[in-house]
Structure 1
Amino acid sequence: MSPDSYAALFIALQKVNGGVGPSASGKPSVRITVTANDLAEACDAGLRIAAEALMECSITGVPEHVSVTLSL
């Protein structure tokens, strides 16, 4: 992903206090914190937010890996 794409995605995620950067493999890593009642709701919200931000930046593709960290 180009530096301009990272910048655009960072700006798009600012409204949800999200972040973007390279993963250990060099591919994009998006971090989003959501409030939810259960894990399914959190996953749905996180994926929706990420998809909306990617579309806003005209970035296409499907995530190769999705991980969830649960904070209680």
Structure 2
Amino acid sequence: AGRLIPDDLLDRFAFAGTPTQVIEQCEAIFAAGATRIEFGTPHGITAEGGIRLLGERVLPALRR
């Protein structure tokens, strides 16, 4: 099913990468006019680890 979703669509609506890359992707979305971003648990690590990573590395950088 993943092959049915074009890469450019994923690039616009899904965040992936290091915390720094995710921060940059979020900043680009905010610059384009978004006022809110919702996060799910990252894949490839435990739910607890993903929440910790978002809370410690990503969200503090996005505070306005």
Interval of TM-score (by shorter of Structure 1 and Structure 2)? 0.3 to 0.5
TM-score (norm 2): 0.36
> Higher relative contact order by CA 8 Å / sep ≥ 6: 1 or 2?
2
